[in-house]
């Protein structure tokens, strides 16, 4: 997945968003002609497109590029995958870590593709529950493994900087398919993601 470079931004979208960010500057009481912020509407328009570029990405295609036949049928765990997303209610960041496990069913996948799939769904307007579910379903449908598990731990700026203003609450969401529905398998996964091994 190639991330966007500045010259690749859609000019029409950038122009429209630029106008909107200009209105926001005026709305907050700023002078949009002030030297330090004269280019801010364009910067913000590009930043917003960067943060939501997941809409243009195809997670299934990313996984299919690196699926290999292998008869390994133990649990594969990739933990502590950092993620940044935007809550769809306030368009403020929520961020944290994803932990993913799957049990292959004849095919393994390139390890780097798991964080890439996280980014495809995180770089959209999201709620943490749907983000968890999107990643889970995509891996389940594409890899068709014996089981798959996703846990996300995140903090939400809309609960920290504004609103209830709670600085120490984190949200955990999870989803389990196939063999991870069994308590023993699920516990093994939960034990592995709570170990300090890096």
Ligand X SMILES: Nc1nc2c(ncn2[C@@H]2O[C@H](COP(=O)(O)OP(=O)(O)OP(=O)(O)O)[C@@H](O)[C@H]2O)c(=O)[nH]1
150 binds, among ligand X, Zn ion, none (CB under 5 to 8 A by kind): none
Nearest-angstrom CA–CA distance, 197 and 193: 9
Least distance in angstroms from the C-beta of 46 to ligand X: 24
Active site residues: 87-90, 128, 156, 158
- Contact indicator for 160, 166 with CB cutoff of 8 Å: yes
Per-residue binding letters, 154-173, with Zn ion (x by CB under 5 A): ----x---------------
> Under the rule (CB under 6 A), what is the footprint of ligand X?
87, 89, 127-129, 156, 158-159, 163-164
77, 78, 90, 93: which one binds Zn ion (CB under 5 A):
90
Tell me how far CA of residue 161 lies from CA of 20, 64, 84, 95, 170, in angstroms: 23, 40, 16, 14, 14
- Looking only at residues 70 through 89 of this chain, which bind Zn ion when binding is defined by CB under 5 A? 87, 89
Q: Are 81 and 139 in contact (CB under 8 A)?
A: no
Which residues does 149 contact at the CB level (< 8 Å), separation at least 6? 99, 100, 101, 102, 136, 174, 175, 176, 177, 180, 186, 189
Token pair of 25 as six digits:
């500057």
Q: Which C-beta is closer to ligand X: that of 32 or that of 93?
A: 93
163 binds, among ligand X, Zn ion, none (CB under 5 to 8 A by kind): ligand X
Partner interacting with residue 127 (select from ligand X, Zn ion, none; CB below 5-8 Å by kind):
ligand X
Specify the stretch interacting with Zn ion by CB under 5 A; choose among 60-68, 108-116, 152-160, 171-179: 152-160
Q: How far is the CB of 80 from ligand X (least distance, A)?
A: 20
Q: Whole-angstrom Cα distance, residue 177 to residue 105? A: 13
Q: Which residues bind Zn ion (CB under 5 A)?
A: 87, 89-90, 158
């Amino acid at each position: 997945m190639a991330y966007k470079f500045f010259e690749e931004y859609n000019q029409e979208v950038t122009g429209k968003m630029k106008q909107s960010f200009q209105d926001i500057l005026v709305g907050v009481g700023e002078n949009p002609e002030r030297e330090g912020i004269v280019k801010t509407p364009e910067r913000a328009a590009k930043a917003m497109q960067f943060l939501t570029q997941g809409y243009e990405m195809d997670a299934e295609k990313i996984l299919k590029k690196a699926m290999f036949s292998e008869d390994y049928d133990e649990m594969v765990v990739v933990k502590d995958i950092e993620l940044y997303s935007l809550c769809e209610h306030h368009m403020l960041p929520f961020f944290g870590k994803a932990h993913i496990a799957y049990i292959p069913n004849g095919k393994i996948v390139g390890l780097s593709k798991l964080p890439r799939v996280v980014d495809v769904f995180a770089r959209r307007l999201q709620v943490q529950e749907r983000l968890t579910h999107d990643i889970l379903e995509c891996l389940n449908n594409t890899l068709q493994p014996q089981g798959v598990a996703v846990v996300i731990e995140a903090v939400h700026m809309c609960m920290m900087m504004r609103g209830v203003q709670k600085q120490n609450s984190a949200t955990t969401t999870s989803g389990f398919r196939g063999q991870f529905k069994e308590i023993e398998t699920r516990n093994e996964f939960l034990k592995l993601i709570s170990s300090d091994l890096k």
